[in-house]
Amino acid sequence: MTVIYLKKADKTPETETGTAQQVVTEMLSAIGTRGEAAVREYAKKLDSWDGEIVMSREEIDRRAAEVPASVRRDIDFAIKQVSDFAVAQRDSMQEFSVGLHPGVTAGQRVLPVNVAGCYAPAGRYAHIASAYMGVATAKAAGVKTIIACSGPFRGGPMHPYLMYAFDRAGADVIMTLGGVQAIATMAYGLFSGKPADVIVGPGNKFVAEAKRTLFGKVGIDVFAGPSEVAVIADETADSAMVASDLVGQAEHGHESPAWLFTTSKALAQDVMQRIPALIDALPPTARDAAASAWRDYGEVIVCDTREEVVVVSDKYASEHLEVHTKDLDWWLENLTCYGSLFLGEETTVAFGDKTSGPNHVLPTKGAARYSGGLSVHKFMKTLTWQRMTREGAREIAEVTARISRLEGMEAHARTADDRLAKYFPGQTFELGEPVVA
Ligand SMILES: NC(=O)C1=CN([C@@H]2O[C@H](COP(=O)(O)OP(=O)(O)OC[C@H]3O[C@@H](n4cnc5c(N)ncnc54)[C@H](O)[C@@H]3O)[C@@H](O)[C@H]2O)C=CC1
Ligand SMILES: O=C(O)[C@@H](O)CS(=O)(=O)O
Ligand SMILES: [Zn+2]
C-alpha cells in the first residue's frame, strides 16, 4: 500500500486528553461533594458568572421578544429540518412482538428516557445550532423533561439567539451554565431536582471528558469533542472548494483537525498552496483558531488507489467526511467509519452543521468506529418483554432447568422445576443432574 504524507501533523486528536482528564476529575469530585455551591464557584471562576442559574419564564419571554423576526425565521426553519429528520428516525424504530415457540411470545418496546440534559457550547462561538440539534431531537423522541444548559456568552448572560433556540425547540428548563459544571449539574439534578437520564451535546475537551467520566451514572450520546473534518478528493475535485471546506471547519478551535485524503498529488499540492491565504483572510477569532489547527493538526495524504483511501479514511474515522470525486455511490458503498458523510461538492459540512436536517452532534477521536452521532435513538430505550402459556412454558422450563444445572445454578433450575410441578402434576421431566457443590 502506498501512502504518502505531503503534510503530517505533530498532534493527533488524542494529544490533549490527559490534561483535560485531570481537571475534570477534580471538578467532578468537588461538585459531587459540595453540590450547587461548588457549581456557583466554578461558574464565577471560569466564566465570570454570578447571576441566576435557572432562567425564569418571564426572562425567557422578555429576551425572546427582542429576537429580530428574521433571526426567528431562520432558527425556526432549521429547527423544522432537524425535527423532521428526527421524527423520521423515530418512525423507523418499531415495536414488535413475535411468536418464538408455540405459546411463547416476546416483543420489543421503544420508550424515551424521562429526563434529558442538552448542552450547547458557547466558549469561542455562540453555538445556536447545537441548541436545537439536542433539544429538537429529544422532543421528537418524546422525552418528558428536557433540561438545557449553555454558558454565559463572553462574560454576559446566555446568548439571546441560543436561548431562543433552546426555548423554541422545546426545553423545559434553561440554565446559564457552561463547561464541566453544566454537565455535572444535569447529571446530579442540581438546581432542577431532576437528574438527567441521558446527557447529550458537543463541547470542548473539558465538556467531552466530563460526559465520558459520568457515563454509567448517566447515558451519553457519544464522545463529541473538538470538531474534525476530512475531505476525500480525486483529480476531478475543485481544489478551491476543497481548501475552503477544510478551512471552514478548522476555524472551530486550536484542536480541530482538518485532513485531506486524495489520489491526486497535483490536487493535494494545489489545496495546500491555497489554504494559508484563506486562513489569513478570516476575522481574528477564526484566523487564530484555524491557523494553529491547520499547523498542528492538518494532514494531507496521497494514496495510489481509492481502495487505499478507504482504508486510511476508515482509520481516521473523521467526525465529518466530505467526498469530492466521481462515482459517489462507490464511496457510499465502501466507506464504513465517519460521523456524517457529505457526498458531492453540492453539499458541505456547514450545511449539515446548521440547517439541512441530519444531526451535527457527531463522534470525534475515532468514536465513529463504533457509533454514529446524536439521533433520536440516543434518547430511546429498546426494552424487551415476554409472556407464555402454561403449555408454552413446558419445553422452555425443561431446557432452562438443564442449562441452569450445567452452569451450576441450582436455584435458577428450581424456578423451572416449580412451574413444571405446578402446571403438569404427576408428569416426569428430564431436568438434569442436581448441583451438589
Ligand atoms: N463534535 C461535535 O459534534 C461538535 C463539536 N463542537 C466543538 O465544541 C467545542 C466548543 O468549545 P468552546 O467554544 O470552548 O465551548 P464549550 O461551551 O464547550 O466550553 C466552554 C466552557 O469550558 C469551560 N472551560 C474553559 N477553560 C477551562 C479550563 N481551563 N478548565 C475547566 N473548564 C474550562 C468553561 O466553563 C466554559 O464555560 C469546539 O471544540 C467545537 O469544535 C461543536 C459543535 C459540534
Ligand atoms: O463538530 C460539529 O459538528 C460542528 O461543526 C457543528 S457547528 O459548526 O459548531 O455548528
Ligand atoms: Zn462546523
Q: What is the pLDDT along the chain (437 residues), one digit of tens a residue?
A: 788 999 999 888 777 777 899 999 999 999 999 999 999 999 999 999 999 999 999 999 999 999 999 999 999 999 999 999 999 999 999 999 999 999 999 999 999 999 999 999 999 999 999 999 999 999 999 999 999 999 999 989 999 999 999 999 999 999 999 999 999 999 999 999 999 999 999 999 999 999 999 999 999 999 999 999 999 999 999 999 999 999 999 999 999 999 999 999 999 999 999 999 999 999 999 999 999 999 999 999 999 999 999 999 999 999 999 999 999 999 999 999 999 999 999 999 999 999 999 999 999 999 999 999 999 999 999 999 999 999 999 999 999 999 999 999 999 999 999 999 999 999 999 999 999 99
Q: Strand pairing of 219-220 and 229-233?
A: unpaired
204 is in an annotated binding site: yes
State how far the Cα of 373 lies from the Cα of 362, in Å rounded to an integer. 4
Instruction: Answer yes or no: are the C-beta atoms of 380 and 141 closer than 8 Å.
Output: yes
Nearest to 82 by CA among 94, 72, 90: 90
pTM over 0.90: yes
Told to judge if 320 belongs to the known catalytic residues of this protein, a careful annotator would answer yes
Choosing from 204, 221, 353, 378 the residue with most ligand 1 atoms within 8 A of its CB, the one to mutate for a pocket test is 204
Residues with Cβ < 8 Å from 216, sequence gap 6 or more?
Answer: none
H or E element at residue 119: strand 115-119
CA of 362 to the centre of ligand 2 (A): 8
Q: Choose one of 353, 361, 364 to mutate for the ligand 2 pocket test, by most ligand atoms within 8 angstroms of C-beta.
A: 353
DSSP single-letter state for residue 284: H
Strand partners, 291: none
ipTM value: 0.99
Half-sphere exposure of 263 (CA within 13 A, CB side): 17
40-44: Cβ within 8 A, 24+ apart: 42/179, 42/180, 42/181, 43/152, 43/177, 43/178, 43/181
Residue 428's contacts (CB-CB under 8 Å, 6 or more residues apart) are: none
Q: What gap in Å lies between CA 145 and CA 89, rounded to an integer?
A: 20
Q: Which of 254, 320, 324, 360 is catalytic?
A: 320
Counting beta carbons within 10 angstroms of the beta carbon of residue 266, is it exposed (0 to 12), middle (13 to 18) or buried (19 or more)?
Answer: exposed
CB 145 within 8 A of CB 194: yes
| The three cell numbers locating residue 210 | 466530563
Contacts for 124 with CB less than 8 Å, ≥ 6 apart: 252, 253, 285, 289
**Residue that the C-alpha cell 456524517 belongs to:** 340
Spot the catalytic one: 319, 322, 360, 377: 319
Q: Which three cell numbers stand for residue 220?
A: 451519553
